[in-house]
Chain A
Amino acid sequence: MSAPRTLLDKIWQAHAVLTRPDGATLLWIDRHLIHEGSFHAFGMLDHAGRGPHRPELTFAVADHYVPSHSRAQPIGDPEVAGMVQQLHDNAMRHGIDFAGLDDPRQGIVHVAAPEQGLSLPGLTIVCGDSHTATHGAFGALAFGIGASEVAHVLATQTLWQRQPRSLRISLSGHLGAHVTAKDAILAIIARIGAGGAAGHVIEYAGTAVRALGMEARMTLCNMSIEAGARAGMVAPDETTFAWLAGRPRLPADFDAAVAAWRRLPSDDDARFDREVALDAATIAPTVTWGTSPETALPVTATVPDPAAEPDAGRRERLRQQLDYMGVVPGGRLEGLRVDRVFIGSCTNGRLSDLRAAAAVLRGHRAAIPGLVVPGSVPVKRTAEAEGLDRIFRDAGLTWGEPGCSMCVGMNGDLVRPGERCAATSNRNFPGRQGPGARTHLMSPAMAAAAALRGAITDVRTLGGAQ
């Protein structure tokens, strides 16, 4: 009898090329996803006279800098255009599969790679992007790395890592009506803090997690980094296998793969270094008020008042955030006026997210402007086939082309200084959506409700009276 193992243990051990006496493991990397930000890494390779070791395990897709407006026109800003061009050039000269602006697979890397069947249970997946934990939804070990590590993976298809500690977060019971995976992950981050899972890989478990579809599981795992976690993962099950079946890049012998994947879930008696438990039924539609995702509260709550905070350091921190956000201490979240909405991103730019937002907006006009950006070309095409684009356009919102867009603003989609944005993305950091931008994170349905009313709104109160 071998010792009981976690999902993380099993993946780790299957990928260990060697372990140094100091405990660091050289891990084999199954999939390397790259985007425009890889230019530093290719520069390092060129400088050292090296090339990629296994280019066929690398997938390049343009997402961070691609325009949201029509692609009939060239990218105006030559520096932005150059970023997409460089990715193309680097991919082509090294024989790396590349999905550019005219490719039917193009999209945000964390939406596009799963759609292609590149993200599978039991794999190690890395990308020079902190939201790589998204792919953990399939039961993979997926994490973000920096440019030097991107160069290391390109050159060796391996990475030196120490095995992170394990943290199981169990969501018992069931999420309520209009409460989504986004609300759950925001509530989790609020509970454990923005650095609460540092040095850990989270395994999300429990009945409420098992009940989630794959897109919702991706939303959940996506924001693991906002709790400081190295990665987040959900054990693969029938939901996973059914979602994967028929994807383009699956292994030839899919049944054999599924048989191997069934052995991946953590053993019943496996021990985790830490455990956190939440009752899903206690989670409400959740909104952030400050400049860290940990400032998430039920929409029905009031924002903190620094006067009630006894610790001087924390009091100052609250004051700084309230000042930046232009929020009244002790004020209600509900009813807070919003200037614009952004629906999209690697967190909430998938078909189910767009459907949820469209269900709220159907037949109504938004009170404020907004941008809806599908996560990929396949998401966009399916949404259009279902008429979702018409619902958004009829509501007065802009329907964009797939990419990271206003989550990070690298393509020029910026929230103006002082503007308040209801966003389905993942970060409310100061200046994240543009200098001086004020971001409130929430689910797609909640962002749609904010668009309708021009204010933060509890989507549960809209009912038939929208």
Chain B
Amino acid sequence: MMTPFITVRGTVGVLDRANIDTDQIIPARFLRKPRSAGYHNFLFADTPSLRAAASQAAVLVAGENFGCGSSREGAVYALVDAGIRCVIAPSFGDIFLGNAAQNGLLAITTPAATAFAATWRDGDEVTVDLLAQTIRSADGTTQPFAVDAFRRRCLLEGLDDVGLTLQHAAEIAAFEVRDAVDRAWARPPAIDQANRSSTPSGVTP
């Protein structure tokens, strides 16, 4: 289960470029690895400059559109397993934002990220307080930030998303009954069994 997030005081890594995509965060060849392989080993594996900046950090500040591209949740695993608790950027890829929220990684979207990237140095100590919704820079200045209320609650309490949804099982069941009438066409017919593959042939047993 994810670690509840309240406050992180830690060192900064500055990734001062735009469009850092998830292929860069974790190259595709590592996605077949089990989580137990230690995804921190794969973080920015082919991009030494980003890897160096992130290596000692708990908080990353990046350029716009961080985490764009592939939906691979492995990108978030790599960051989290490397000890990154928070990423601050002017904007993020939408799917990355969803994946971050599911894994206790706080993604802060703020235009202040541009100024942070210009003034912060790798190794600076900053404090990100999710309760107060503030970022305190090494020079003592404090900047507020906004965050989705539900994601904030999930981060603070480490909630299980599926468990929460299953509390609405009755509403889902009622929807299904209603929808089977309203949109009868939306259900696919049963599959033709003769057309199914039974074995993944060509695969080494």
A contacts, CB < 8 Å to B: 14, 17-18, 20, 22, 24, 26, 28, 30-31, 36-37, 40, 43, 48, 50, 56-57, 62, 65, 67, 71-75, 78-85, 87-88, 97-106, 117-118, 120, 122-123, 128-130, 144-149, 151-152, 155-158, 160, 164, 194-195, 198-199, 225-226, 228, 230, 248-253, 256-257, 260, 292, 294, 313, 316-317, 320, 408-410, 427, 429-432, 435-436
Return A31 CB to nearest CB of chain B, in Å: 8
Give the chain A neighbours of B35 by CB distance below 8 A: 40, 43
- Does B171 lie at the interface of the complex (its beta carbon under 8 Å from any beta carbon of A)? yes
Q: Is the beta-carbon distance between A56 and B200 smaller than 8 angstroms? A: no
Return the contact of A102 from the options B148, B179, B189, B200 (Cβ within 8 A): B200
Known pairs A251-B184, A408-B28, A427-B69; A56 contacts B190 (CB<8 A): yes
Q: Is the beta-carbon distance between B186 and A292 smaller than 8 angstroms? A: no
Q: Is the beta-carbon distance between B46 and A28 smaller than 8 angstroms? A: no
Give the chain B neighbours of A14 by CB distance below 8 A: 179, 182-183
Closest to B175 in A: A17
Return A240 CB to nearest CB of chain B, in Å: 14
Return the contact of A199 from the options B94, B98, B179 (Cβ within 8 A): B94
Return the contact of B27 from the options A129, A160, A195, A435 (Cβ within 8 A): A435
Give the chain B neighbours of A120 by CB distance below 8 A: 185-186
Q: Is the beta-carbon distance between B165 and A101 smaller than 8 angstroms? A: no
Give the chain A neighbours of B69 by CB distance below 8 A: 130, 225-226, 427, 429
Bound complex: CA A31 to CA B187 (Å): 9
Return B167 CB to nearest CB of chain A, in Å: 11
- Most chain B C-beta atoms within 10 Å of own C-beta, residue among A88, A99, A147, A199: A147
Q: Is the beta-carbon distance between B32 and A65 smaller than 8 angstroms? A: yes
Give the chain B neighbours of A62 by CB distance below 8 A: 200
Give the chain A neighbours of B190 by CB distance below 8 A: 56
Known pairs A40-B35, A317-B17; A257 contacts B185 (CB<8 A): yes
Return the contact of B201 from the options A36, A100, A128, A199 (Cβ within 8 A): A100
Return A324 CB to nearest CB of chain B, in Å: 10
Give the chain A neighbours of B202 by CB distance below 8 A: 67, 71-75, 101-102
Main secondary structure of the interface of A (DSSP, over half): loop
Q: Is the beta-carbon distance between A57 and B91 smaller than 8 angstroms? A: no
Return B169 CB to nearest CB of chain A, in Å: 8
- Does B191 lie at the interface of the complex (its beta carbon under 8 Å from any beta carbon of A)? yes
Q: Is the beta-carbon distance between B19 and A194 smaller than 8 angstroms? A: yes
Q: Is the beta-carbon distance between A147 and B204 smaller than 8 angstroms? A: no
Return the contact of A429 from the options B18, B21, B29 (Cβ within 8 A): B21
Q: Is the beta-carbon distance between B68 and A195 smaller than 8 angstroms? A: yes
Bound complex: CA A435 to CA B95 (Å): 24
Q: Is the beta-carbon distance between B65 and A198 smaller than 8 angstroms? A: yes
Give the chain B neighbours of A260 by CB distance below 8 A: 183, 185
Q: Is the beta-carbon distance between B72 and A194 smaller than 8 angstroms? A: no
Q: Is the beta-carbon distance between B188 and A118 smaller than 8 angstroms? A: yes
Q: How large is the interface on B (under 10, 10 to 19, 20 to 34, 35 or more residues)?
A: 35 or more
Return B158 CB to nearest CB of chain A, in Å: 13
Q: Is the beta-carbon distance between A56 and B70 smaller than 8 angstroms? A: no
Bound complex: CA A157 to CA B162 (Å): 11
Give the chain B neighbours of A78 by CB distance below 8 A: 204
Bound complex: CA A40 to CA B75 (Å): 13
- Most chain B C-beta atoms within 10 Å of own C-beta, residue among A65, A103, A146, A294: A146
Closest to A412 in B: B29
Give the chain B neighbours of A294 by CB distance below 8 A: 19
Q: Is the beta-carbon distance between A251 and B32 smaller than 8 angstroms? A: no
Q: Is the beta-carbon distance between A146 and B95 smaller than 8 angstroms? A: yes
Return B4 CB to nearest CB of chain A, in Å: 16
Bound complex: CA A316 to CA B172 (Å): 51
Q: Is the beta-carbon distance between A123 and B186 smaller than 8 angstroms? A: yes
- Most chain A C-beta atoms within 10 Å of own C-beta, residue among B71, B165, B175: B71
Q: Is the beta-carbon distance between B203 and A84 smaller than 8 angstroms? A: yes
Q: Is the beta-carbon distance between A256 and B184 smaller than 8 angstroms? A: yes
- Does B93 lie at the interface of the complex (its beta carbon under 8 Å from any beta carbon of A)? yes
Q: Is the beta-carbon distance between B32 and A83 smaller than 8 angstroms? A: yes
Bound complex: CA A230 to CA B68 (Å): 11
Closest to A89 in B: B200
Give the chain A neighbours of B31 by CB distance below 8 A: 37, 410
Give the chain A neighbours of B179 by CB distance below 8 A: 14, 28
- Does B197 lie at the interface of the complex (its beta carbon under 8 Å from any beta carbon of A)? yes
Q: Is the beta-carbon distance between A74 and B204 smaller than 8 angstroms? A: yes
- Does B55 lie at the interface of the complex (its beta carbon under 8 Å from any beta carbon of A)? no
Give the chain A neighbours of B188 by CB distance below 8 A: 31, 56-57, 117-118, 249, 251
Known pairs A148-B102, A151-B162; A253 contacts B184 (CB<8 A): yes
- Does B11 lie at the interface of the complex (its beta carbon under 8 Å from any beta carbon of A)? no
- Does B78 lie at the interface of the complex (its beta carbon under 8 Å from any beta carbon of A)? no
- Does B122 lie at the interface of the complex (its beta carbon under 8 Å from any beta carbon of A)? no
Return the contact of B93 from the options A152, A198, A248 (Cβ within 8 A): A198
Q: Is the beta-carbon distance between B95 and A144 smaller than 8 angstroms? A: yes
Bound complex: CA A152 to CA B190 (Å): 23
**What are 5 inter-chain pairs, A to B, with CB distance below 8 A?**
A147-B73, A158-B165, A251-B185, A257-B185, A408-B70
Closest to B118 in A: A313
- Does B139 lie at the interface of the complex (its beta carbon under 8 Å from any beta carbon of A)? no
Bound complex: CA A299 to CA B148 (Å): 43
Bound complex: CA A104 to CA B189 (Å): 19
